[in-house]
Every structure is written in structure tokens, then in C-alpha cells.
Amino acid sequence: MNNDSKKLTTASGIPYAENENSMTAGARGPILLQDFILHEKMAHFNRERIPERVVHAKGSGAYGVFKVSHDISAYTRAKLFGEIGKETKVFLRFSTVGGEKGSADTERDPRGFAVKFYTEDGNWDLVGNNTPVFFLKDPKKFSDFIHTQKRDPYTNSKSATMMWDFWSLNPESLHQVTILMSDRGTPYGYRHMDGFGSHTFSLINSANERHWVKFHFKTRQGIKNFTDQEAAEMRGKNPDFAQHDLLTSIDKGEFPVWDLKIQVMTEEEAKNYRWNPFDLTKVWPHGDFPLIDVGTLTLNENPANYFAHVEQAAFAPAHVVDGVGYSPDKMLQGRLLSYPDAHRYRLGSNYEQIPVNRCPFAVNNYERDGQMRVDGNGGSSPNYFPNSFDDIVADQSYKEPGLDLGHAVADWYDRNAEGENDHYSQPGDLYRLMSQQARQDLISNIVHSMSGIEGPKKETIVNRQLCHWFRADVGLGMAVAKGMNIDLDINMNAHS
């Protein structure tokens, strides 16, 4: 071994000398339990496969950059669109929808088109397909639909009967089925197809005004598709055609580019439009809502390791940033729950600490523990909110306007607003209903527990809680203060 060589080590960094032969009792004897290296290698190998995605299992991905080319500040205050020329790092994952990880890239199937923007306001995941519509308009139908795209429970094979039975019973699917059955259902790799956010989202500007929006990524490589026969032939020649095509084009410096464009609809226009603008089975015709240029997305970097980046990438439509919001699109609303839930199952509760998913800017919250917590776990800082010790605040400048649903406004309502803020009458009544002995026991228990408050914020916490006891019943407050040896005259003067 020369000085430049790297030592072979265990995962815990301990060097070891034998990596090819198991330790045995004699040359031909049985293997010994103490050969820890054997156990580590075998145990890790048994766990190398994480659960594959329920949908979009097979995919390809690359890093790149989004660059703003046009001003859309009239519609959104999102910082990544803040100025012409601004660049934001992105990761884009393409995928087939219904097939398993080992399926062919040229199967007739929609293609996933998921973009993660690493913005200074957090990660924005725009998770769509290569089609502007979908098969369904209600998330309650989703699991049933996906079952028809998977394997028959009896034959364990794909079933045209299941697919067409479902589609024939759900005519809302017809728009997407028409696209799927055209040559657009077998795109020539990933570079020669458009991408869509598909759902209706909202954009919110600096005046807190909302517009409804559709996102479109238009390929500069030109639309190119396989015929059905060509797709079938490619499945036999190279089932990983799309992966190979994307990887090699980037390696050769032929970076694929998409132009991001948006359609915008006012809230007033949405109220009277001829179709439900939040129906995922419908498009907004360009004649009514023309495309507006925004910027360009260029993929220019292949991940160094497929598993670490592409397989562990996790996208969720719930992840929007300030200036981008949701809509009453029912399918979108369903995905807000199901996507993060799927990632927690597949990758663990701390999946957002995996490098490809990690926000490169400040992250402050009170989530702690869980499998694979690798970021210091918050150190000694509090794990609850609100508290008296840190300076983390909920910044109200990021608040969205309420969503007018006609019969009601969807918003964050103060649970302790006027009429909902009497926290003292009933506890006071309860105290006054107690027997003398029960009151004494209550006071004794409170004093004993509150005497355990420690640290530099002790006085602040004690006084704050004393105020609550006084508001419930003056006598109760006085008794607790006396039990804690607090001189109320001095205390009142100090805080007057």
C-alpha cells in the first residue's frame, strides 16, 4: 500500500484487512460468528433496495438551472422570478407512470415531469406530467385507477380488460386516453416532450392579489414520438432508451432546454368560465388564455450516483413557495397529502435531509428525531412552539390572501379571536365549585409543579402563568403566588 492509497474501512470508519474470505475454523471449517465484516456486507446488501414508488417507479433525472427571461411580477412575488436574468438551481426527474422499476422506457404511458427549484424561500416542487390533463378529477378515484394500470390480482399480468373497463365506466378519462392512445403516448425519450404542471395553481403578487395559473414547459428540442411499432421494437433493443438518451446528451454537452410559459386567469374570469378551471381533465384553450413567456430551464449536470440523487429524489405538490399557491383543484388537494405521505413511507420521516431534497438555505422548525436524522437534530434548542427561548417567528409577510369559495373563505382563522377567547370563566367556576380541601390540594399541586421551573426565563414564565390563574379567580392567583413566596407588591411595581 502506497501513501496515496485509501484504507478499506467499515461503515463506521474502522480499517480492515480481509474483504474476500470469510473467517473460518480451519481452512475448510465453518464460518465464525465473529466475522463482523461478513455480517455488515450481507446485512447492508439485504437492505439496498428501498420500496419502489407506487407510481413513477422508473425514472431519470438531472440537475440544471432555471433562468428568468421575462417579468411576471404583476402576477407573483415569488423570489425566483424576481428579476430578469436571475438563475435558480433545479433538479428534474422524468418517469413513466404505471410500470415497475424494470419496465421499458418506451411503454405507452404518460411521463412524469417533476421539477424541484432550490429557491431562497425553500424548495418549490412543480410535479406534473407530459400531458396538460389527467384521467381523473377526484382523488378518491386515484387508487382504483392505478390498480388498473398495474397487474391483475389473478394473472399477475397487465390487463387491457381492467384498463378499458375502468375507462369505459369513467368517461372523464376520455381526454387523457385520447392523448395516451396517440403517438404522444410513446415519446422519443424525455428531451423531445413538453412538460406541464397540469393542475391549476395560484400566483400571488406583492399586492396580495391572486391569479390562477397553468405552467407549461415547451421543449426546444422539438416534439418527437415513436410510432407504436417503433416503441415496441425499442423495448426489445434498449429498454432503458430514455435514460441513455438523456444521460449521453448531457455528457456530450448537448444540454436539453425547455421554455417555461404560463397561462393566467383572473379570479373573476374563473367564476364564469365555460369549463371548471380547476378540473384536471380540462385544458384552458390558448385562444382564451395565451401563453406568457417566463424563462428557460436547462439541464446541464448528470448526477454522480443514480440512487443517491434520482432514486431518492422526493417531490410533493404541497411544497410551494411564497408567491405560488394552491387552488380548489380536487386532484391537487388530494396530492398535497398523498405525496409527502408516500415519501415518509419510502424514505423515512427525514427524507428532506437527503442531499437531493435538502433546501440549501436556512431551515428552522421544531421537527425532531425519527430514523436517519443526520443534521444535528436541533441541538439543545427547544422542540416546541411558541417558547420563551429562541427567536424563531412566524413571518406574517408570507401570508396568502384568503381563498373565496363563494359560500365561505378558506383562510387561517385565529382560534382565539373575539368570542372564542374566554379561557378563564369555566376554570374559575370549576375552582369555585371545589370543596375547601380540593382547593387546597389544587393549589399545593400547582405550587409544587411550578416550583420546578428553572433557567433565565423562570420569572417570565411564572408571571405569565400567574396572570392566567388570577384571571380565572383572584383568590386562586393569590394562593398560588403566596405558595411560591412571590411578593405581589414588589412584582407589580417591577412590571408597572
How many distinct structural domains can be found in the chain? 3
Q: Confirm if 36 and 11 have CB atoms less than 8 A apart.
A: no
Tell me, yes or no, if 343 is annotated catalytic.
no
Q: Is residue 401 part of a domain?
A: no
Q: Is residue 374 part of a domain?
A: no
Q: Is residue 172 part of a domain?
A: yes
Residues 327 and 195 in one domain: yes
Q: State residue 81's pLDDT score.
A: 98
Residues 272 and 309 in one domain: yes
Active-site residue, from 123, 129, 130, 302: 129
Q: Confirm if 205 and 77 have CB atoms less than 8 A apart.
A: yes
Range 41-44, long-range pairs (CB < 8 A, 24+ positions): 44/11
Q: Confirm if 317 and 334 have CB atoms less than 8 A apart.
A: no
Residue that terminates a domain, selected from 332, 353, 374: 353
Q: State residue 383's pLDDT score.
A: 81
Active-site residue, from 2, 21, 44, 56: 56
Residues 105 and 234 in one domain: yes
Q: Could you tell me the three cell numbers for 163? A: 384498463
Q: State residue 370's pLDDT score.
A: 78
Rounded distance, CA 363 to CA 39, Å?
37
Residue for grid cell 424548495: 123
Q: Could you tell me the three cell numbers for 251? A: 455528457
Rounded distance, CA 407 to CA 410, Å?
10
Residues 126 and 257 in one domain: yes
Rounded distance, CA 308 to CA 326, Å?
30
Q: Confirm if 65 and 298 have CB atoms less than 8 A apart.
A: yes
SS3 state at 49: coil
Rounded distance, CA 240 to CA 189, Å?
9
Q: What are phi and psi of 392, to 5 degrees?
A: -80, 130
Rounded distance, CA 221 to CA 486, Å?
77
How large is the greatest C-alpha to C-alpha distance in the chain, in angstroms?
A: 91
Q: Centre a 10 Å sphere on the Cβ of residue 364 and count the other Cβ atoms it contains.
A: 10
How is 308-343 classified by DSSP, letter by letter? IIIIT----TT---TTEE--S-HHHHHHHHHHHHHH
Q: What are phi and psi of 339, to 5 degrees?
A: -70, -55
CATH of the domain at 25: 4.10.91.20
Q: Is residue 404 part of a domain?
A: no
Residues 125 and 214 in one domain: yes
Tell me, yes or no, if 129 is annotated catalytic.
yes
Name the stretches of the chain with pLDDT < 70.
1-3, 490-496
Residues 478 and 347 in one domain: no
SS3 state at 295: strand
Q: State residue 157's pLDDT score.
A: 94
> Domain range spanning residue 35?
1-48
Q: State residue 496's pLDDT score.
A: 47
CATH of the domain at 268: 2.40.180.10
